[in-house]
Amino acid sequence: NRQFRLARRPKGLPERDDFDLVTEPLAEAKDGEVRVAIDYISLDPAMRGWMNAGKSYIKPVGIGEVMRAGAAGTVIDSKHPDFAAGDKVSGNLGVQTHAVFPGDELRKVDTSLADLPVYLGALGMPGMTAYFGTLDVGQLAEGDVVLVSAASGAVGALVGQIAKKKGASRVVGIAGGPEKCRYVVDELGFDGVIDYKNEEINDAVRRECPDGIDLYFDNVGGEILDAALANLRLHARVAICGAISQYNVTGNVGDTGYAPRNYLSLLINRARMEGFIVFDFADRYPEAAREMAAWLSAGELKHREDIVEGFDTFPDTLLKLFTGENFGKLVLAVER
Ligand code: NDP
């Protein structure tokens, strides 16, 4: 079993030496456990936060521990009554090629409905994030104008599509570069797009949302959040899903992190800004998964996975999220 263990806490962007690549024999499964050969590892922006010390919504990965990650794979053998060799499963299996894992914490997945990597994207954690972030936290209402950042990414691409399905009158995405922007409009069916790398963000938000924004789904924070705040409508909602532009900022947030300037727009517009963590909706995942799966099998929900081959590339591949080199849900494929 090969594993990436956290060797030290990164400063700024993670580096190769922040991890140790360790090889050790795979233990036998004890009662209630399942042995899994991991096929795909989910690479998520949140992993950067899990490497930091300090209080957060989840405890930090300890130094010397296997790096935390969602993953999907194939059961090798099982001492849990619900699993048998050959079953396809997903769970919090970590950045390793194999896992010995409690069966109670594994989920069986149906690969006749969608390929295994999709269970790390549209039918997995990012899908749940988009669904509950838009509908519950964002309180999407019929006729809303919706703006979403990181719009070509795992979460953002789904937010826009879900919003359209649930009655938004106009959905605008923000993405970096012409290729991603074309995809957002031509493939995902958004009504408008902003290329934040090549346009002045404030002018572009005003152009695309001339009557203001009812729901801003924020994946990036920073100046883009500020531009959205400046253009809210009465009773708007701002769903704080993530702030990827801030995750590699060094120093304490507040010292060097970006603080929004336009928050008084919340007061003027009697608007609401609310952060959320997808895990809080865990007891309702089945409800969302059913609806997402139905759309998916009807061909009504576009999804795109960016699959990078090679377990050993993990530290470099993770960085793609922060440079925008990933195009779709970033997944690491474990070679066999
Ligand atoms: P994506 O697939 O969207 O990949 C990240 C994208 O972020 C990049 O492709 C890039 O797109 C964009 N990006 C990177 N740096 C910047 C920057 N400085 N400014 C603007 N955009 C940038 O990732 P996910 O869909 O997995 O995650 C999106 C967000 O959702 C993250 O903030 C993540 O932490 C959050 N999240 C939150 C959850 C929760 O429970 N609250 C759960 C899951 C995700 P581009 O090329 O367009 O710049």
pLDDT digits (tens, 9 = 90+) for 18-56: 999 999 999 999 999 999 999 999 999 999 999 999 889
- Cα(100) to ligand 1 centroid in Å equals 30
Which pLDDT score, from 0 to 100, does residue 248 have?
93
Closest residue by Cα to atom 17, ligand 1, is 245
What does the alpha-carbon distance between residue 169 and residue 120 come to, in Å, rounded to a whole number?
A: 29
Angle at 156 between CA 71 and CA 200, to 5 degrees: 135
What does the alpha-carbon distance between residue 281 and residue 260 come to, in Å, rounded to a whole number?
A: 27
Determine contact, residues 163/133, Cβ cutoff 8 Å. Answer: no
Q: What would the two tokens of residue 26 be?
A: 């795979």
- If you average pLDDT over residues 194-218, what whole number do you get? 98
In this prediction the ipTM stands at 0.99
- Cα(235) to ligand 1 centroid in Å equals 26
- Cα(229) to ligand 1 centroid in Å equals 19
Question: Which ligand 1 atom sits closest to the C-alpha of 241?
Answer: 41
Name the band, by pLDDT with cuts 50, 70 and 90, for residue 257: confident
CA atoms within 13 A on the CB side of 107: 19
Q: Where are the domains of the chain?
A: 2-121+304-333, 125-280
Superfamily of domain 125-280: NAD(P)-binding Rossmann-like Domain (3.40.50.720)
The helix/strand/coil state of 118 is helix
The helix/strand/coil state of 274 is strand
From 92, 182, 220, mutation site for ligand 1 pocket: most ligand atoms within 8 A of C-beta: 220
Which pLDDT score, from 0 to 100, does residue 336 have?
85
Torsion region of 296: left, alpha or beta (phi above 0 gives left; psi -120 to 50 gives alpha):
alpha
Q: What is the CATH number of domain 2-121+304-333?
A: 3.90.180.10
What does the alpha-carbon distance between residue 315 and residue 212 come to, in Å, rounded to a whole number?
A: 40
Q: What is the pLDDT of residues 175-202, one digit of tens each?
A: 999 999 999 999 999 999 999 999 999 9
Share of the chain above pLDDT 90, in %: 96
Q: What is the pLDDT of residues 218-242, one digit of tens each?
A: 999 999 999 999 999 999 999 999 9
Which residue, chain included where needed, has tokens 């400063």?
A: 11
DSSP H or E stretch at residue 236: strand 232-240
Find the farthest-apart pair of alpha carbons in the chain and give their distance in angstroms, rounded.
61
pLDDT at 255 exceeding the cut of 80: no
- If you average pLDDT over residues 60-86, what whole number do you get? 98
Which pLDDT score, from 0 to 100, does residue 254 have?
56
Q: Which residues contact 65 (CB under 8 A, 6 or more apart)?
A: 5, 6
Q: What is the pLDDT of residues 113-154, one digit of tens each?
A: 999 999 999 999 999 999 999 999 999 999 999 999 999 999
Name the band, by pLDDT with cuts 50, 70 and 90, for residue 262: very high
Determine contact, residues 97/152, Cβ cutoff 8 Å. Answer: no
Share of the chain above pLDDT 70, in %: 98
CATH topology of 2-121+304-333 equal to that of 125-280? no
What does the alpha-carbon distance between residue 67 and residue 18 come to, in Å, rounded to a whole number?
A: 11
Q: What would the two tokens of residue 319 be?
A: 């960085």
Q: 10 Å Cβ neighbour count for 82?
A: 12
Q: What is the pLDDT of residues 147-178, one digit of tens each?
A: 999 999 999 999 999 999 999 999 999 999 99
Mean pLDDT rounded to a whole number for the chain: 97
Q: What would the two tokens of residue 305 be?
A: 């996975």
What does the alpha-carbon distance between residue 105 and residue 11 come to, in Å, rounded to a whole number?
A: 32
Q: Which residues contact 117 (CB under 8 A, 6 or more apart)?
A: 40, 72, 305, 307, 329, 331, 333
From 68, 244, 308, mutation site for ligand 1 pocket: most ligand atoms within 8 A of C-beta: 244
Closest residue by Cα to atom 31, ligand 1, is 242
- Cα(80) to ligand 1 centroid in Å equals 36
| Residues framing ligand 1 (Cβ under 6 A) | 44-46, 125-126, 129, 150, 152-156, 175-176, 180, 219-220, 241-242, 244-245, 276-278, 321-322, 324, 326, 329-330
